[in-house]
């Protein structure tokens, strides 16, 4: 058992380890290589799969961009190795002493007293689809669209088909692959069910996405009075086994879990016995030390593809190696990075859970489209993005003091331009007035874009101001031009009650199937709109567009596994309740 967390002075072999000094870089494999850092993909024919992916990608702009990107990373690595070469023994020795002190302090801060669980639903979206369509159960399938796959079932993974892979590549890897379009309403409903189970074990559980959450079950374990049958399992294991069983009973879906004394380790552990399994890491220092020693650095949350390559170039693949090189790392990387490496290599992680309702720092809206340099299209797109962003801001009761435009060229290069606003706003027109000029100064006759995005930042909570804003609208004498702050349609012809109804609806976010009446701007369910329109049209004096052309308010198309589109992963609508309450109050006043 290597138990050298305490060793404060650097290892002697730091000085003798010249193995990698002269190796330029050795990031492994081909450019488009399969990412197999994923459950269910350990023992497949990586060579063949990578070749197929490479074949399908070669020559594309995407591929060229990846190549350029990799060249930049290689240059960074070369830089790193040059820096390493320039380090003297003297410097290393000093660094060693400093790092030793930090290690001692970190060690003193180690807390093994709490029990964290990371729960991860197995191939969540795919599992839901298979549950509801038995004909899919014995077939390789994935959830997503032709553009991008959100997740795949375990059969498909055997072919190398995985999340974040475009559908057409998936088809090449697995000609029989069935691609099922996502149904987020359903996934959210399922999530709501097993979230109740989470809440039973930890009312403060922290959801990372629709299929993943952290729980701190310390308190639950303390209070748990259940008499359990004698078994080999520890209390924590029994409890988590129960939790997974409850999830299964409630949803017919399996989950995997990791149990550990901090969130970092719990996350790693949930992957070990996936699918439908759990792994318990006993909260004892030697156990943690041994576990972490063998761990690939890539498994740690926060160490991604690029950092992994840099560490690999330094001869570091495991956490044990990372710990050995702690002095070197403290010289080559920023303080923050070096510290986080050190914590990972010591098996330290967060022992409290992130504030689940921390205020958002930014809100954004972006969309990919067929690459174009058409100025009118781009301006139009820009306006649309601003309008949708505005809705989002109003719904969240946030105003922005800065706005950023993001543009991706047809060659996949990304540019962002930010502008500070004279005053905080959520108004679509104001956003647009600032964003469009930034867009225009990036447009050039030969430059085509494939994505545009708008981001609001420097946010301030606007609950107090909200009242005055809405008051201002509502208090305008009827007959003057009143515009809805959300959808900007004129509310001039509406009675106060109808204005309220409109705002209430607009602010709380309309449902997918709702249709907005082009005449009175009210929202109606599809079955009701025909009837409503007839009456409304009869009452209206001006000529009106046909109901068929009424704007159908649609949420963005949905994906999974992080590509949860707009609004898919929202927190509980706490704010909306207050807002509705506010309107209810107003309605009763009038």
Q: What amino acid positions are annotated as catalytic residues?
A: 212
Binding span for DNA by CB under 7 A among 151-159, 240-248, 273-281, 418-426 = 418-426
Distance separating alpha carbons of residues 306 and 296, to the nearest angstrom: 14
Q: Contact with DNA (CB under 7 A): which of 41, 56, 173, 329?
A: 56
Of 391 and 518, nearer to DNA (C-beta) is 391
Q: What is the CA radius of gyration of the chain?
A: 28
Asked if residue 372 binds DNA (CB under 7 A), the reply is no
Site for DNA in 516-555 (CB under 7 A): none
Q: CA 575 to CA 461: how far, in whole Å?
A: 11
Instruction: Establish if 62 lies at the interface with DNA (CB under 7 A).
Output: yes
Judged on CB neighbours under 10 Å (0-12, 13-18, 19+), 433 is middle
- Give the x/- contact pattern for DNA in 3-42, rule: CB under 7 A: -----------------------------x----------
Choose among 347, 382, 344: nearest CA to 366.
382
Contact criterion met (CB below 8 Å) for 44 and 160: yes
Q: CB 268 → DNA: shortest distance, Å?
A: 11
CB of 378 to DNA, least distance (A): 15
Residue whose pair of structure tokens reads 């409304």 in the numeric block? 536
- 63 belongs to the binding site for DNA (CB under 7 A): yes
Query: What's the number of CA atoms in the CB half-sphere (13 Å) around residue 83?
Result: 15
Which of 30, 91, 276, 420 is close enough to bind DNA by CB under 7 A?
A: 420
- In the complex, what is the shortest distance from the CB of residue 369 to DNA, in angstroms, rounded to a whole number? 8
Among 146, 181, 286, 551, binds DNA (CB under 7 A): 146
Q: Which position among 40, 261, 347, 453 is part of the footprint of DNA (CB under 7 A)?
A: 453
Kindly state the number of chain residues that form the binding site for DNA, as judged by CB under 7 A.
67
Pick between residue 545 and residue 562 the one whose CB is nearest to DNA: 562
- 373 binds DNA, rule: CB under 7 A: no
- Give the Cα separation of 360 and 570 in Å (integer): 11
Closest CB 211 distance from DNA, rounded Å:
7
Question: Scanning residues 193 to 252, which ones bind DNA (CB under 7 A)?
Answer: 208-209, 211-212
Residue nearer to DNA on the CB measure, 312 or 521:
312
76 lies in the site for DNA, by CB under 7 A: yes
Which residues in the 106-135 window bind DNA by CB under 7 A?
A: none
3-class SS shares of the chain: helix, strand, coil, % to 5:
45, 15, 35
Select 251 or 521, whichever has its Cβ closest to DNA: 251
Q: Which residues contact 400 (CB under 8 A, 6 or more apart)?
A: 363, 393, 421, 424, 425, 426, 431, 456, 457, 458, 459
Contact flag: residue 364 with DNA (CB under 7 A)? yes
Stretch of 3-11, 41-49, 217-225, 556-564 lying at the interface with DNA (CB under 7 A): 556-564
Q: Which long-range contacts (CB under 8 A, 24 or more apart) does 92-97 make?
A: 92/10, 92/14, 92/15, 92/327, 92/328, 92/331, 93/10, 95/10, 95/327, 95/328, 95/330, 95/331, 96/9, 96/10, 96/14, 96/327, 97/8, 97/9, 97/10
Q: What are phi and psi of 236, to 5 degrees?
A: -60, -45
Among 87, 287, 418, 483, binds DNA (CB under 7 A): 418
Q: Which residue in the set 98, 137, 415, 525 belongs to the binding site for DNA (CB under 7 A)?
A: 415
Measured in degrees and rounded to the nearest 5, phi and psi for residue 511 equal -80, 165
Q: Report the nearest approach of DNA to the CB of residue 465 (Å).
A: 20
Collapsed DSSP state (helix, strand, coil) of residue 30: coil
160 backbone dihedrals φ, ψ, rounded to 5°: 95, 5
Of residues 254 and 330, the one with the C-beta less far from DNA: 330
Stretch that binds DNA, among 81-89, 96-104, 142-150, 373-381 (CB under 7 A): 142-150
Q: Which of 9, 30, 60, 252 binds DNA (CB under 7 A)?
A: 60
Neighbours of 320 (CB within 10 A): 19
Q: Are 40 and 122 in contact (CB under 8 A)?
A: no
Q: Which of 116, 291, 333, 341 binds DNA (CB under 7 A)?
A: 333
Nearer to DNA, 148 or 382 (CB): 148
Residue 278-317 contact track with DNA, rule CB under 7 A, x = bound? ----------------------xxxxxxxxx---------
Of the candidate residues 52, 123, 143, 148, the single one contacting DNA (CB under 7 A): 148
Would you say 183 and 201 are in contact if contact means Cβ atoms under 8 Å apart? no
User: How far from 379 is each of 24, 272, 290, CA to CA, in Å?
Assistant: 46, 49, 57
Q: How far is the CB of 585 from DNA (least distance, A)?
A: 28
Q: What would the x/- binding string for DNA be over residues 154 to 173, using CB under 7 A? A: ----------xxx-xx----
Q: Which helix (H) or strand (E) holds 365?
A: strand 362-372
Distance CA 214, CA 235 (A): 18
Q: How far is the CB of 407 from DNA (least distance, A)?
A: 9
**364 strand-pairing partners:** 455
For 197, the token pair is 């189970």
Among 367, 433, 447, 493, the residue binding DNA under the rule CB under 7 A is 367
For residue 147, state whether it binds DNA (rule: CB under 7 A): yes
Omega prior to 124 cis, within 30 of 0: no
Half-sphere exposure of 255 (CA within 13 A, CB side): 30
Question: CB-wise, 385 or 491, nearer to DNA?
Answer: 385
Class of residue 359 by CB neighbours under 10 A (exposed 0-12, middle 13-18, buried 19+):
exposed
Which of 72, 85, 526, 531 binds DNA (CB under 7 A)? It is 72
Q: Specify the residue, 419 or 531, whose C-beta has the smaller distance to DNA.
A: 419
Report the residue from 275, 277, 315, 565 that binds DNA according to the rule CB under 7 A: 565
**Segments in 174-252 forming alpha helices (H):** 184-201, 218-223, 235-251
C-beta closer to DNA: residue 285 or 450: 450
CA end-to-end distance (rounded Å), the chain: 75
According to the binding rule CB under 7 A, does residue 337 interact with DNA?
yes
- CA separation (Å) from 213 to 121, 163, 210, 404, 586? 9, 19, 8, 31, 39
Note the residues at the interface with DNA (CB under 7 A): 32, 53, 56-57, 60-63, 69, 72-73, 76, 146-148, 164-166, 168-169, 208-209, 211-212, 267, 300-308, 333-334, 336-337, 360-368, 370, 402, 414-420, 450-451, 453, 556, 559, 561-566
């Amino acid at each position: 058992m290597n138990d050298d967390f305490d060793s404060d002075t650097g290892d002697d072999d730091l000085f003798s380890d010249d193995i990698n000094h002269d190796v330029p870089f050795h990031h492994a494999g081909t450019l488009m290589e399969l990412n197999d850092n994923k459950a269910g993909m350990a023992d497949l024919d990586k060579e063949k799969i990578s070749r197929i992916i490479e074949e399908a990608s070669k020559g594309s702009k995407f591929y060229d961009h990846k190549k350029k990107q990799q060249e930049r990373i290689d240059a960074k690595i070369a830089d790193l190795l040059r820096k390493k070469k320039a380090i003297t023994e003297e410097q290393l020795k000093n660094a060693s002493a400093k790092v030793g002190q930090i290690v001692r302090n970190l060690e003193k801060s180690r807390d093994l007293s709490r029990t964290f669980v990371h729960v991860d639903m197995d191939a969540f979206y795919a599992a839901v689809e298979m549950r509801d369509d038995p004909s899919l159960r014995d077939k390789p399938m994935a959830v997503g669209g032709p553009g991008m796959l959100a997740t795949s079932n375990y059969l498909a993974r055997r072919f190398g088909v995985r999340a974040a892979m475009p559908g057409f590549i998936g088809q090449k890897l697995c000609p029989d692959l069935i691609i099922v379009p996502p149904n987020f309403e359903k996934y959210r409903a399922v999530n709501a069910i097993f979230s109740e189970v989470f809440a039973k074990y930890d009312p403060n559980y922290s959801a990372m996405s629709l299929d993943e959450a952290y729980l701190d079950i310390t308190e639950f374990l303390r209070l748990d009075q259940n008499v359990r049958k004698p078994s080999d399992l520890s209390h924590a294991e029994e409890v988590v086994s129960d939790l997974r069983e409850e999830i299964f009973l409630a949803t017919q879906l399996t989950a995997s879990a990791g149990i550990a004394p901090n969130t970092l380790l719990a996350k790693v552990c949930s992957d070990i016995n996936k699918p439908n399994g759990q792994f318990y890491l006993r909260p004892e220092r030697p156990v943690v030390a041994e576990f972490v020693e063998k761990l690939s650095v890539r498994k740690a949350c926060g160490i991604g593809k690029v950092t992994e390559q840099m560490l690999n170039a330094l001869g570091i693949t495991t956490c044990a190696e990372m710990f050995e090189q702690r002095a070197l790392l403290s010289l080559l990387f920023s303080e923050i990075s070096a510290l986080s490496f050190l914590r990972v290599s010591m098996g330290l992680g967060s022992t409290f859970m992130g504030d689940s309702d921390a205020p958002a720092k930014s809100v954004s809206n972006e969309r990919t489209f067929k690459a174009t340099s058409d100025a009118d299209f781009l301006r139009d797109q820009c306006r649309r993005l601003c309008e949708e962003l505005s809705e989002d801001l109003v719904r969240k009761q946030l105003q922005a003091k800065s706005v950023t435009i993001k543009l991706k060229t047809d060659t996949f290069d990304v540019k962002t331009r930010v502008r500070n606003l004279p005053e905080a706003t959520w108004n679509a027109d104001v956003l647009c007035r600032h964003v469009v000029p930034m867009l225009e100064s990036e447009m050039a006759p030969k430059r085509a874009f494939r994505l545009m995005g708008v981001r609001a930042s420097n946010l301030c909570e606007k609950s107090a101001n909200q009242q005055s804003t809405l008051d201002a609208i509502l208090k305008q004498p009827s007959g003057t031009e009143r515009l809805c702050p959300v959808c900007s349609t004129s509310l001039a012809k509406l009675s106060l009650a109808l204005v309220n109804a409109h705002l209430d609806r607009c602010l709380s976010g309309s449902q997918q199937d709702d249709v907005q009446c082009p005449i009175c701007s009210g929202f109606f369910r599809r079955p009701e709109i025909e009837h409503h329109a007839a009456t409304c049209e009869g009452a209206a004096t001006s000529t009106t567009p046909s109901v068929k052309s009424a704007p159908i308010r649609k949420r963005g198309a949905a994906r999974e596994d992080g590509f949860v589109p707009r609004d898919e992963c929202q927190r509980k609508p706490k704010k909306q309740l207050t807002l509705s309450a506010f309107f209810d109050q107003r309605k009763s006043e009038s």
